[in-house]
Copies of this chain bind each other. A is one copy, B any other.
Amino acid sequence: MSYYSPRRAGAVSPPRLTDKLRLYHVDMNPYGHRVLLILEAKKAKYEVYRLDPLHLPEWFKARNPRLKIPVLEIPTEQGDRCLFESVVICDYLDEKYARNPLHSRDPYVKAQDRLLIERFNELIKGSLECFDTNFAYGSEQIIQTMDIFEKELALRGTNYFGGNKPGMLDYMIWPWVERLYLLRCINEKKFDEKRSRFPNFADWGDQMQLDEVVKKHSSSPSEYFDYYENARTHAMGYYL
């Protein structure tokens, strides 16, 4: 991975792609975090173009009128093309790069995992509610979703949702789980209580933190805490 040198997007669009992919990403954005994990897991050649969401350059708006973020730009025979939607981008990468297959080869298991990824959106909505100060309602949504994943891990009887190593489902949900650890900064005792309610999920989280791919793009609880404190001040909640 290489970061494109102007760390904030400039007035001029970056050069055409030659031999690698380009991810347009907003720092700390969990959807972009998903794509970073998969790019890393697949050992793809890529560069990251960091965008400031409050100052999107004109050339970026022209290329991406719906202002979706993240965007993966890929070289094709017809020129550089953009892909949107983190789940679609990640599935694309899994199919394009044969190394380290992340989806199950069993179509039924793959379908189940896709449904669980969709189901996980309720935890994401819960996080947004918490951020929006509707804390009681949001945390209930988070806990209900975690219950589903706790039971699913027990049912599968494996360390990871993907089996003996992290697969697509593990990486798709990880960005939000990593961010949940910032609760430690708020109330360590409450965090431990919640942890004991989800023993399988807690062990899974401990193991995920040791994964090389995860480590490459992780931030600490206090980094998230500082980021969200700042984001709240700047009304940037919708980039969560």
Residues of chain A having any CB pair with chain B under 8 Å = 74, 76, 81, 83-85, 88-89, 91-92, 95-96, 107-108, 110-112, 114-115, 118
Contacts and interface: CB of A to CB of B under 8 A. Distances in A.
Given A74-B108, A108-B74, A115 B95 contact: no
Contacts of A84: 115
Contacts of A91: 111, 114
A84 B95 CA distance: 23
Contacts of A74: 108
A110 B95 CA distance: 10
Contact of A115 (B88, B112, B114, B115): B88
A92 B114 CA distance: 10
A81 B108 CA distance: 9
26 contacts: A74-B108, A76-B108, A81-B108, A83-B108, A83-B111, A83-B112, A83-B115, A84-B115, A85-B114, A85-B115, A85-B118, A88-B111, A88-B114, A88-B115, A88-B118, A89-B111, A91-B111, A91-B114, A92-B107, A92-B108, A92-B110, A92-B111, A95-B107, A95-B110, A96-B107, A96-B108
Nearest to A90: B111
A31 to B, nearest CB: 15
A84 B96 CA distance: 26
A22 to B, nearest CB: 15
A107 B21 CA distance: 15
Contacts of A110: 92, 95
Contacts of A112: 83
Nearest to A74: B108
A33 to B, nearest CB: 19
Contacts of A96: 107-108
A121 to B, nearest CB: 12
Nearest to A118: B85
